[in-house]
Amino acid sequence: MYQVEEATQLADRVFQMWITAPQVARHARAGQFLVIRAHENGERIPLTISAVRGDAVRVIFMSVGKTTEFLSTMKKGDALSDVAGPLGKPSEIEKYGTVVVIGGGVGIASTPIIAREAKEAGNHVIGIIGARNKDLLILEDEMAAVCDELFVTTDDGSKGIHGFAASVLEQLLKERKIDCVWIVGPAIMMKVTSNVTRPYGVLTFVSLNPIMVDGTGMCGSCRVTVGGETKFACVDGPEFDAHKVDFDSLMQRQRMYVDEEKASVEHYHHHGGCGCCGGEHR
């Protein structure tokens, strides 16, 4: 069992959880993820490692499905059944020069650990974080502390720059030499933003979030098309060269089980969010 060290809400439906997991914390690197099972009858879900603190690791998630809704109800002192990790390949961080780390929405969760490692590697780090509005922005202070420069954007202009991260990135590319870019967020956001760096030939990484089950490359559910080849996000990624990713295929696969996911949440609510089985009475 893995104890919840801290659990708080960061924004509307967005929660952070610190989990005591010494073995994971000891080896965790930027870009890697965990597979969590809340209880013995629960499903396995992947969550990116957002930070490490002593023997604990932090995950940040949005309550959108049955399991994340259940996780959002957990408190300090509660315990998770399983935490497997760190999984996936670490971010390809080295001394590039000037790098930009971009997070959109809940994808901001992955940016501080990347920015911190990039800074430690000797890079000048520029952060860009964006959300639909100011109430959905997370980790602004944390990113400001680790980045040399930080730009904040909101779709509605309620805070920072009125617009999208892609526009800020495009302006930066016009003004100075950018050597490497990381983008983490919704698939459509990563597609649009990575297209901005394409004409400049800037190395650009994206962290992909396809449907995933086992996290070890055996089930094949997380397959993505990169450079015309089939890759498994869990073992070949989750980070890939953005300019080689087939985002249209990724987004199509992400929509495959929308009806089933909706039915699962309804079933969970119908049974009162049963903690012993996640709403799945057997």
Cα within 13 Å of Cα(259), Cβ side: 1
Contact between 266 and 259 under an 8 Å Cβ cutoff? The reply is no
In angstroms and rounded to an integer, the radius of gyration of the C-alpha atoms of the chain is: 18
Distance (Å, whole) CA 203 – CA 216? 27
Cα within 13 Å of Cα(123), Cβ side: 28
234 annotated among ligand-binding-site residues: yes
274 annotated among ligand-binding-site residues: no
Distance (Å) of CA 149 to CA 50, 99, 230, 263:
20, 11, 37, 44
222 annotated among ligand-binding-site residues: yes
**Beta-carbon contacts of residue 200 (< 8 Å; ≥ 6 apart):** 173, 178
Binding residues: 219, 222, 234
Binding residues for [2Fe-2S] cluster: 219, 222, 234
